[in-house]
Amino acid sequence: MSVEVVSYRLTYRGKPAGTQVIKTEVVGKVRRMEARAAFQGPLGNATVLQRSRSSAQEHHSLGFREEAQERDGRRVFDVTFDARSGLVKATTGPKDVATVPYIRPYRDPLSLLGEVRELAGAGAHGVAMLGKDVTVQAAGEVDLRTALGERRAWAYLLHPGGSVVYVDTAPPHTILKLVQRLPEGSLESLLVSVASEPSLEGFGDDDAGGKRGQQRRRGRRRPRRRKRG
């Protein structure tokens, strides 16, 4: 399956604030997502790269990583969901590691967006997140003007936080607009284009038996048999 590439224009309090690109690919039973945001203007200059691996059917997260490059340096946040050990491990550095019991099907910020795309206008929906759970509440349908023309969208309110996600009612249910509430205003992601790419790099092997792992297994040589004297 090809990679879906959706590009957005960011605005903050009505002013240009950068760009964002969200890529999605399903490999076997795993959904892989990458979100790359480049902020500028009122929000300062910074880049944020997020990568998520989650269940394509059940949406719970298998791993999440965020890398932020800001003026004062680079920051990394890495979360692994280990069902075998029953632990969720979060790291921000070699000496900064925290663990919590893996007792619920936690989502990460990107797998949550993937799940919202499949709600099809359904009502209130609770989602287990690390820190605070999120309630996704359907708020009806609206008409939106987008770069792809007029679109009918489902609107979803996310609590706590008050973010709003607008999802195209037509398949493949692309996120047309995302509004995030910030302390001094709203950050809006507005759809610019939808495209595709052959593959999504940078993830390595996954729990579904990734392509790279399969290629390595296929490429292994069988041991030579010793000749009998």
| pLDDT one-digit tens code per residue, 172-217 | 999 999 999 888 889 999 999 999 999 888 776 544 433 433 333 3
Least confident of 70-74, 130-134, 148-152: 70-74
Q: What does the pLDDT average to over 65-71? A: 90
Which residues, 6+ apart, have CB-to-CB distance to 16 below 8 Å? 9, 10, 40, 41
Q: How confident is the model at residue 130 (pLDDT cuts 50, 70, 90)?
A: confident
Average pLDDT over residues 124-128: 88
Looking at residue 204, its pLDDT comes to 60
Confidence of residue 34 (pLDDT cuts 50, 70, 90): very high
pTM of the model: 0.85
Q: What is the pLDDT of residues 41-57, one digit of tens each?
A: 888 899 999 999 999 99
Looking at the chain, which runs of residues are DSSP E strands?
3-12, 15-27, 30-39, 46-55, 61-70, 73-82, 87-93, 96-101, 125-127, 134-146, 149-159, 163-168, 175-182, 185-197
Cis ω for the linkage preceding 198 (within 30 of 0): no
The domain 3-197 is classified under which CATH number: 3.90.1690, 2.40.128, 1.25.40, 2.50.20? 2.50.20
Question: What is the rounded average pLDDT for all residues in the chain?
Answer: 87
pLDDT of residue 7: 98
C-alpha 76/C-alpha 45 separation (Å) is 17
**Tokens standing for 181?**
């509430």
Q: Where are the domains of the chain?
A: 3-197
Distance CA 48, CA 35 (A): 8
